[in-house]
Chains A and B, each alone.
Chain A
Amino acid sequence: MSNAMATVPASRTWQRHTVGQKLARTALWLLIAVAVALSVQSINVIWEFLWDAPEQMMDMGRRMWPPDLAYYPKTVHAALMETFHIATLGTIFSMVFALPLSILAAHNITPHKGLNLFAKTMLVSSRSVNSLVWALLFVAVFGPGPLAGAVAIACRSVGFVGKLLGEALEEVHFGAIEALKAAGASQTSQILYGYWPAVKPAFWSIMLLRWDINIRESSVLGLVGAGGLGMAMNAAIDTFEWDRVAVILLTIFAVVVIGEVVVTYFRRRLI
């Protein structure tokens, strides 16, 4: 305001931003431009390969068509079921671990800074490491196979579920809890009868969301040996059987679409 009063009467020109705002904006744009330019310059692009790309894609398309549909009942179906189990088991495991961690992370339930910090660090670590990296770790521990995949999915999901659930717990209206406290309820019954009913819808919708994500993620874990569709895909790619890869890609696409429909249906029933 004072700014406008100072500049306007003198000369009736108009500038959208003050000098300071302009500088900040220019600096930001410059930063973006420099970052992009530096990245373009230093990233290793082999131009012949890039120009060749459309032809390679066409070639791949030709090899994929027609898809080897007979491959589905032979191998893909079993792999698909495995992927489903990995995702669902992983989600169930993550629920078991995320519940206590989210309670420890919510500062209104656990008024202990050290425990909060501990739980939050666990959750952040779980989230920062990609499920594919988790899978690499557990393939090294349990050996190749779906078990490594399920544990990897669980480890990645704990952070996601725990964070969202912890935030939901922290938003619970204090009044209801205080009433329970005043009635002499123990910590356990406060959680069971105060917090749980309040976060239940959020909890189920978080689990559903994560399950949907897990279905997608578990379809690629096999690329590092953790079972499911990815493993079948890896095998087909290694032997250049692109018509089989096409079947797997179609399967994944179908699963994603079905998953979306199922989740939309349940979410509508939940809310």
Chain B
Amino acid sequence: MAAVLNIRGLTKAYKPGMPVLKGIDLDFDERGLTAIIGSSGTGKSTLIRIINRLVNPTEGSILFKGVELSRIEGRQLREVRRRIGMVFQEYNLVERLSVMENLLTGRLGYVSALDAWRRKFPEEDVTHAYELLDIIGLSDFAHQRADSLSGGQRQRVGIARALMQRPEILLADEPTSSLDPKTSVEIMELLKSQGVTNGIPVVVNIHDVELARRFADRIVGMTGGRVVFDGPPAQLTDDHLKMIYGGEGWLQ
């Protein structure tokens, strides 16, 4: 299968001499859901944010479909960003815009600033948005303001916004951490099925090992800024988990 994303020797230090990521090597190909697990503060979030350059890497290379994106800026960066969908822990919807406007935000990279201001989007974008609203079950909410939605509804809108970009990879930074268990499962199901339907890889940061086991095709375990496990969920043993999270009391 063709590679989508190749990360080599990726290092990030917010303060010089105190790296959060210490030389990450990872490859993602065209299909499947990858769950990145690890305790808080281990650099999972930094890793996922570096991929679309919301955070800048200190060293290393990120090759996205043949484009080296660790050093690009300006227009080039924007053109790569619009091919990468991103879902956030706290949904990060624009609260005072309607659900439809939040979805159309996903097309801003393709529409001129003037047309965007006048809310003039191509018809196919609007049609696509309605299709996605059908998929996430919020067809009747197009005109509702984002701040009137529940947490689960907001996250579904967040996913739909990312899908509006017709992304070639979908990143999700702790998408279920602010949600109740039942909604979390629904969100994971949605991410998984959308990855399959669109034939794109999905990379999810997640605390919950059980959710990761249930939905992931591949699990990456991180601790102390390094990858310590990389393989299918079936191979993930308690020993691995001890290494990833440290201690063992929580396993019982």
Contact = CB atoms under 8 A, between A and B. Distances in A.
A4 interface: yes
Contacts of A12: 126-127, 130
Interface residues of A, number: 9
A4 B140 contact: yes
A14 B100 contact: yes
Given A14-B100, A16-B101, A8 B123 contact: no
Contact of B126 (A1, A4, A5, A13): A13
A222 B167 CA distance: 67
Contacts of B100: 14, 16
Contacts of A8: 130, 139-140, 142
Interface in A241-267: none
Contacts of A44: none
Nearest to A4: B143
A3 B140 CA distance: 10
Nearest to B125: A14
Interface string A1-19: 1011100100011101000
B144 interface: yes
A14 B126 CA distance: 7
B42 interface: no
B193 interface: no
A1 B144 contact: yes
A95 to B, nearest CB: 41
B177 interface: no
Nearest to B119: A16
A4 B144 CA distance: 9
B207 to A, nearest CB: 35
A1 B143 contact: yes
A152 to B, nearest CB: 44
B129 to A, nearest CB: 7
Nearest to B129: A14
Given A8-B130, A8-B139, A13 B123 contact: yes
Interface residues of B, number: 15
B101 to A, nearest CB: 7
Contacts of B143: 1, 3-4
B120 to A, nearest CB: 10
A5 to B, nearest CB: 6
Instruction: With a 10 A CB-CB cut-off, give which of B100, B101, B119, B143 has the most chain A CB atoms.
Output: B143
A92 to B, nearest CB: 45
A3 B141 CA distance: 11
A13 B119 CA distance: 12
A140 to B, nearest CB: 52
A5 B140 contact: yes
B98 interface: yes
Contacts of A4: 140-144
A3 B143 CA distance: 9
Nearest to B143: A4
Contacts of A13: 123, 126
B45 to A, nearest CB: 34
Interface string B141-154: 11110000000000
Nearest to B131: A12
Interface in B112-165: 119, 123, 126-127, 129-130, 139-144
Contacts of B139: 8
Contacts of B140: 1, 4-5, 8
Nearest to A13: B126
Nearest to B144: A1
B139 to A, nearest CB: 7
B235 to A, nearest CB: 46
Nearest to B98: A16
A68 to B, nearest CB: 51
A3 B101 CA distance: 17
Interface of A: 1, 3-5, 8, 12-14, 16
9 contacts: A8-B130, A8-B142, A13-B126, A14-B100, A14-B126, A14-B130, A16-B98, A16-B100, A16-B119
Q: Sorted from nearest, which 9 A-B pairs have the closest CB atoms? A: A4-B143, A14-B126, A16-B119, A12-B130, A14-B100, A4-B142, A12-B127, A5-B140, A4-B140
